[in-house]
Structure 1
Amino acid sequence: MSETPTKGWVPDEVDTTVPSMARAYDFLLGGAHNFAVDRMVADQAEKLMPGAAKIARLNRAFLGRAVRYLLNAGVKQFLDVGSGIPTVGNVHEVAQQINPEARVLYVDKDPIAVAHSELMLGANDKAEILRADMRDPDSIIGSSQARRLLDFDEPIALLMVMMVHWVPDADDPWALIAQYRDALPAGSYLALSHVTADQRQDQIADAKDMIQESRSADQLTPRSHEQVVRLFNGFDLVEPGVVGCGLWHPGGPGDIADNHELNAHVYAGVGKKLP
């Protein structure tokens, strides 16, 4: 595949010789905002862990189902942390198709994700992108964008889809999510998906090593079912709890794979904040 022309859409600060997992994920989803080095990492992931692209699409389908579930539960505002590069089925597109008044604040630290989100959202006064690191919740919750879009007297859906496995244990993701939880009003929700270490352990270990050797700033920390469930401390898990993302309220063939391992390779769940 030839290199996508970069003039006009790549911020000057981006080093196109170092892979980004956001851009590799974009490629796995069929997006165009990625470079040769990102595609190389994605191709290697597919070789080391066959079905990686399918897993990415299963996870994206989970995101759409979770957003629709939350809208049906009465949620009208979403905080999507680690939103990534815009592709098909973005949160505001799913949400506003059902409720045109739904509001979405996207958060990402990747400059390309931010730049393209800004272009996409330019005419949408109910959705915005904030460039910030998810490990600094105070800067996100206290931002002018959050103050404009989010009403902290009403339930908010916090989305962390395929994000927390990029947070190492040293940064204590459990305490980090607790900070977000404590800032959310009663009746809020957490929707989360996370790569697991419980399936195909040798393959995920090889993929983790490959990412580490790639010089990417993003380093994978797969976690067990018990560790992912702990991320929902203080939330009442919606049935069926934390399960493979393909098994969370599947609605059709695109939501679930015939291969059980592909459905279970990423854990997913939704929880409601306890009173």
Structure 2
Amino acid sequence: MTGAARRALGEFDTTRPNIARINDYFLGGKDNFAADRRAAEELLAIAPEIRAIAAESRNFLGRAVRFLAAQGIRQYLDIGSGLPTLQNTHEVARSVLPDARVVYVDNDPVVISHGRAVLACDERTAVVEGDILHPQELVDDREVRGVIDFDEPVAILIFGALHVIPNADDPYKSVATLRDATAPGSHLALSHLVFDIRPEVAGAIEDIYRTALHRPQANTARNREDVLGFFDGFELVDPGLVWLRQWRPDHPLHARAAETVWKVGGVGRKVCDRARQARGAGAGSR
């Protein structure tokens, strides 16, 4: 474990697994504890392909952020960012737009401490404590606004946080709040585990996530149609909401056996309010 991670511990309970650190283990990182490794191995015993899903999620992040930067998006709000690893958002975006600005958001103290240590000298990034369930706090946060101008297009990135948020917490409303706070031309990019083709593992995987979330009654399983609801108010860019390997692969061969990585991803562009109102009026007249 890194020094930054050790300094973050304080009174933190390392005997409970944490989603960000479980994912760090899947990616071969060192910022995880015994409880995280046990939970990760339990998940792998249920579905060994989860390690590949974690790797493909990072690959999807890279492709999506490069696409957004190519559209001229210079501002990124990366929610549930997890621990720094390969292909971090600011690195990918700046490979296309050197002046890109990024705010990383997470609620894990190890993530916060490590991220701030790594990015301490970078004035065009910030690492703030928060989560998708408190979107207005993120929009109003002084540190966030020191990096991001919400009067200009922003890319909202949610690569992995939503599939552990139960329906009872209404994550759809949280995403809509962020959508409404952003300027025309803003985008939403997200990825989400779905159980359309592996319904038999959903219950066991949910049990492990419930333990990590300390929510014994939480229901987090969704299918592709459920995930589409997060894009309300956004127009999906081609190829839509698809298996991660199918989303603008770097080479056609990379999309082979796409369904074996049962996580979907997509990017949507915010629809201007006037266009949304016109569509709504048209739907009501039919």
* Structure 1: distance between partners of 2:251 and 2:157: 22
Q: Which residue of 2 aligns with 1:68?
A: 66
Tell me the equivalent position of 2:9.
Answer: 11
TM-score normalised by L of structure 1: 0.92
Provide the secondary structure at the position in 1 that maps to 2:95: helix
Q: Distance in 2 between matches of 1:215 and 1:186?
A: 37
- Give the number of the structure whose residues are more often helix, by fraction: 2
Instruction: Return the alpha-carbon distance in structure 1 between the equivalents of residues 187 and 128 of structure 2.
Output: 20
Q: Does 1:272 align with 2:269?
A: yes
SS of structure 2 residue aligned to 1:231: helix
| 8 Å contact kept, 2:56–2:245 | yes
Separation of aligned partners in 2, 1:14 and 1:262: 36
**1:211–1:220 Cα contact (<8 Å) kept:** no
Shift in CA distance, 234/215, structure 1 to aligned 2, threshold 3 Å: closer
Q: After TM superposition, where is structure 1 displaced by more than 6 Å over at least 4 residues in a row?
A: none
Provide the C-alpha distance between the structure 1 equivalents of 2:258 and 2:94, rounded to a whole number of angstroms.
Answer: 33
- State which drifts further: 64-73 or 9-18: 9-18
> What CA distance in whole angstroms lies between the structure 2 residues aligned with 1:215 and 1:238?
34
CA contact (8 A) 1:236 1:273 kept: yes
Q: Which has the higher contact order (CA 8 A, sep 6+)?
A: 1
- Secondary structure, in 3 states, of the residue corresponding to 1:83? coil
Deviation at 1:215, TM superposition (A): 5.1
Of 177-186 and 11-20, more deviation after overlay is shown by 11-20
Query: Which of the pair has more CA radius of gyration?
Result: 2
Is the counterpart of residue 124 in structure 1 residue 122 in structure 2? yes
One-letter amino acid matched to 2:185:
G
Q: Residue 221 of structure 1 aligns to which amino acid in structure 2?
A: T
The answer for the alignment partner of 1:107 in structure 2 is 105
| Change in CA separation of 1:216 and 1:273 when aligned onto 2, cut-off 3 Å | closer
After superposition, the Cα gap between the structure-2 partners of 1:66 and 1:26, relative to the gap in structure 1 and judged at 3 Å, is: same
1:217 alignment partner, one of 206, 214, 219: 214
Unaligned runs of 5+ in 1: none
CA distance in 2, matches of 1:211, 1:190: 25
Letter in 2 for 1:207: I
Distance verdict in 2 for CA 1:133–1:189, change over 3 Å: same
TM-aligned CA distance change 1:43 to 1:123, over 3 Å: same
Tell me the equivalent position of 1:205: 203
Give the aligned partner of residue 31 of structure 2.
33
Q: What is the CA-CA distance between 1:28 and the residue it aligns to?
A: 0.3
Q: Indicate conservation of the 8 Å contact 1:67/1:95, yes or no.
A: yes
Q: 2:244 aligns to what?
A: 245
Partner in structure 2 of residue 49 of structure 1: 47
What one-letter code is carried by the residue in structure 2 that aligns with 1:49?
A
Q: Residue in 2 aligned with 1:134?
A: 132
Deviation track 1:70-97 (CA, whole Å, cap 9, x = no partner) reads 0001101100011111111110111122
In structure 2, the partner of 1:158 is 156
Alignment partner, residue 98 of structure 1? 96
